[in-house]
Chains A and B, each alone.
Chain A
Amino acid sequence: MALPLDGIRVLDLTAVWAGPHCTMLLADWGAEVIRIESIQVLQPSTRGHMAHPPKELPRLRKSWGMTYPDWDPGDQPWNRYPIFQSHARNKLSMTVDLRLPEGLDLFHRLVNICDVFVENNVPETIEKLHVTYEELVEHRPDLIALRMPAYGLSGPYKNYRSFGVQLEGTAGHSLLRGYPDMDPATGRDDVYLGDAAAGVNGALAVVMALRHRRRTGKGQLIELAQAENFVPYLGEAVMDYTMNRRVRDTIGNRHPSAAPHGVYRCRGDDRWVTIVVGSDRQWQGLCRAIGNPAWCGDPRFATGIGRWKNQDEMDTSIEEWTRERSPDEAMRLLQAEGVPAGAVLDDRDLYNDPQINGFGFFKELTHADAGTHKYPGIMWSASETPNEIRTPPVRLGEHNEYVYQELLAMSAGDIIDFEKKGHIGTRYPEHLP
């Protein structure tokens, strides 16, 4: 069966993560997504922190957002950057400088032959470029435009800049996670679920708008303020406040009512298993799994409330058992008795995991600049629509010929002219840091 979005063309002016994640989902399920990029401007964290990072920097930093094959940025770092590699499969890339009049004119011609436009820039950037919905709809009356700035297209924070991690702070997530016994300024820097959330819901909005267009012929503007999009994920905390004026704080790995609940040290270096007991039945299962030691019979642990009140003591005893086992062994023994338990899988563990490999989740791809690697795959599967990654992460300007020649049917002379003016290329200039 054809993929659901076959025949839909998306112009993608997205940056960093949230927008690209949205267009990745559209591309994965059949849309022709054309990234509109510029070789004159590097959007930080999109194709790199820097176009030409110092060679020694990645190995020095060892940061998850700055790895390169063998820690080497290589000749074209922008095609190897891991954040870009994580979302750019199945997409096309063309380059044009929208700041120049002929670039903007060309973009308008592309808008005319596309269905959807997606961007997640600061609103003032889009206004300066003159590519707002109101301006583009003149070139494509039934255009669907998804704009996903951090805080929306109106209001005091309209032009505020944010990555997922900062808007999760505003939405309230940062204070709801982390070690309860430590100052909030520690260890809460690196979670970006806000991006993932915006990407997924952005794709939902686009698909729903496509349905509406098919039924009525009408396109529309969709405004997804990433901060607002994330607040519903924290519904319980919000409503505890609106209904009871209670302000929640982090409880770490624990649960407001269930115990045992947490992460337990296992055999080996930095190895852990998570265990959750949400009912008497699961408690009995846990006791069986760990061989019914005498302490399990303590009457204080017989009820949910008793377990919750005495969890420190229980946790110590449970950890005596987990410390003797690998995370995988502990997980399997507990799951066999119906107890929710999961090994804390690091990167290597996940690549070796039989369940995820059973889906054929990882796909080996050969990328001209990055080499051959196994990439994480499609988010869900469909019985009638088998799906896997079709093309590796796209290289900068890889489809210039397709767009300029085939889609826009430009003459050879015009193309040379565009090249001279700095629109067409596959490299960032050396002077760009």
Chain B
Amino acid sequence: MATPPQALSGVRVLDLTQIISGPYGTKLLADYGADVIKIERPGIGDLARRMGPFAGDDVHPEKSGLFLHLNTNKRSVTLDLKTATGKKLFFELLEGADAVVESFAPRVMPSLGLDFETLRARNRRLVMTSVSNFGQRGPYRDWKSAEIVTYATGGPMWATGLPEREPMSLGDNVVQYQVGAASAVATSMALYSAEASGQGDHLDVSLFRTQASSQDRRTTMLIGYQYTGERNVRSPVGASTAVGVRPCGDGYVNIMGSSHRFEDVLRMMGQPELVEDPRFSDLVARSQPGASEEFDAYYIPYLMEHTKRDLFQIAQSHRLPSGPLYDSADLLADGHFQERGFWATVDHPVAGVVTQPGRPFIMNETPWQLRNPAPVLGEHNEAVFGEMLGYDRQALVRLKRMGVI
């Protein structure tokens, strides 16, 4: 069967990013068809290669689960951009490229002589996407960041967690993934424009600003602050009656029984008569201090009689937005995701057969495809420098000896 076309077939991206944000963005482009050439430092490569988890806990640059996840469908070449020859090769690649995505500190590309003006002088329709901590200019331009630092500065960390405790960050590196996704949208929009107009663009995507404009509460809270002059604070445990995480027989569930949904919760519990109780009879009563705890005295005993999976199904049958709190084992075992074919399995030459998260969305005409697992370091030097740019075997050996590739 012929392979269906992909949405970004024919787009070539030079990828100078590493670790999480930039690579997640270019992974999205690669998974939907772009030819992403990942340019890595000779001998070292993407620092994510040194970050875990490692397959079989074997600390090996080709066995990093983080790297394997974030670099599917990309081609890897090694290139030292600090050398004149390395730069020459980069400029040769640039001629056939549609986009350059980079995630260096903002001073680095100019110091390498690879600023946007220089690059666009060689390729008018080039889209350059710069992913950085705090943006390409401004007083924090050169500052360092990290997952928690980004969530603290740009995101709503101050209002996340419990009032009597310290503010709480999110899990793992989710904020950096979000920036990666934003960089992919920005890049694809500019590419869409450049393909028609012939004019490229330079995009400034930062962790800080992506968080400050995120629809994860931050923007709503900022508007709320403008409305009232009061800062949004961390909410106490069980702040809303019949809303949020509660314990159940074998773990935890999150059921939203707010406003009009409260009576559905009562029906689910088989105690519809509780709506007559003046403590719970309307939203104003249920919003009084202590109402949530008083309701939990009825609610939690009911929840404890059921498993999280049963409650998921029961709550949904009462049209309640809800979900169990799963760990990875629960998630991988869940029939819904399996039945839909969400999980992807790749056979990697070094790491072996690995199950990874699959497509984020299904495009019926131009599907997500796992054409290749993440590349080993420099795997495509010959294909790219040899076949694409026309360097012969001898030249490649010389380049390697010089440490350029």
Which one, B203, B245, B335, B351, contacts A188 given CB within 8 A? B245
Which one, B168, B254, B331, contacts A231 given CB within 8 A? B331
A160 within 8 A of B: yes
- B246 → chain A closest CB, angstroms: 6
A195 within 8 A of B: yes
Closest residue of B by beta carbon distance from A53: B283
> In the bound complex, do residue A239 and residue B192 qualify as a contact, i.e. CB atoms below 8 Å apart?
no
> In the bound complex, do residue A211 and residue B192 qualify as a contact, i.e. CB atoms below 8 Å apart?
yes
Chain B residues within 8 Å of A384, by CB: 199-202
- A359 → chain B closest CB, angstroms: 6
Which one, B134, B140, B235, contacts A190 given CB within 8 A? B235
Query: How distant is the Cα of A349 from the Cα of B230 in the complex, in angstroms?
Result: 12
Query: How distant is the Cα of A44 from the Cα of B196 in the complex, in angstroms?
Result: 40
Chain B residues within 8 Å of A321, by CB: none
> In the bound complex, do residue A86 and residue B220 qualify as a contact, i.e. CB atoms below 8 Å apart?
yes
Chain B residues within 8 Å of A274, by CB: 146, 148-149, 151-152, 157, 169
B152, B287, B365, most chain A CB atoms within 10 A: B152
> In the bound complex, do residue B172 and residue A234 qualify as a contact, i.e. CB atoms below 8 Å apart?
yes
| Interface of B, helix, strand, loop or mixed by DSSP | mixed
Query: How distant is the Cα of A32 from the Cα of B310 in the complex, in angstroms?
Result: 44
> In the bound complex, do residue B220 and residue A64 qualify as a contact, i.e. CB atoms below 8 Å apart?
yes
Q: Which of B150-180 contact A (CB under 8 A)?
A: 150-154, 157-162, 165-175, 177-178
B405 within 8 A of A: no
Closest residue of B by beta carbon distance from A252: B168
> In the bound complex, do residue B357 and residue A208 qualify as a contact, i.e. CB atoms below 8 Å apart?
no
Closest residue of A by beta carbon distance from B148: A274
Query: How distant is the Cα of A4 from the Cα of B197 in the complex, in angstroms?
Result: 10
When each residue 213-255 of chain A gets 1 if its CB lies under 8 Å from chain B and 0 otherwise, what string results?
0101011111111011101111111111111111111101100
Chain A residues within 8 Å of B382, by CB: none
A36 within 8 A of B: no
Chain A residues within 8 Å of B148, by CB: 253, 261-263, 274, 276, 342
B249 within 8 A of A: no
Query: How distant is the Cα of A343 from the Cα of B165 in the complex, in angstroms?
Result: 16
> In the bound complex, do residue A359 and residue B209 qualify as a contact, i.e. CB atoms below 8 Å apart?
yes
When each residue 222-262 of chain B gets 1 if its CB lies under 8 Å from chain A and 0 otherwise, what string results?
11111110111011010110011111000011111011110
A300 within 8 A of B: no
> In the bound complex, do residue A235 and residue B357 qualify as a contact, i.e. CB atoms below 8 Å apart?
yes
Which one, B70, B175, B332, contacts A241 given CB within 8 A? B332
> In the bound complex, do residue A241 and residue B329 qualify as a contact, i.e. CB atoms below 8 Å apart?
yes
Chain A residues within 8 Å of B234, by CB: 187
Query: How distant is the Cα of A207 from the Cα of B194 in the complex, in angstroms?
Result: 13
> In the bound complex, do residue B168 and residue A380 qualify as a contact, i.e. CB atoms below 8 Å apart?
no
A152-B340, A186-B237 given; A232·B192 CB < 8 A: no
A228-B360, A382-B201 given; A68·B182 CB < 8 A: no
> In the bound complex, do residue A161 and residue B320 qualify as a contact, i.e. CB atoms below 8 Å apart?
yes
Which one, B201, B217, B239, contacts A385 given CB within 8 A? B201
The stretch of B52-60, B75-83, B272-280, B383-391 in contact with A is: B52-60
- A214 → chain B closest CB, angstroms: 8
Which one, A156, A179, A220, contacts B335 given CB within 8 A? A156
Q: Which of A57-84 contact B (CB under 8 A)?
A: 57, 60-65, 67-71, 80, 82-83
Query: How distant is the Cα of A322 from the Cα of B247 in the complex, in angstroms?
Result: 37
A274-B149, A355-B134 given; A382·B202 CB < 8 A: yes
Chain B residues within 8 Å of A268, by CB: none
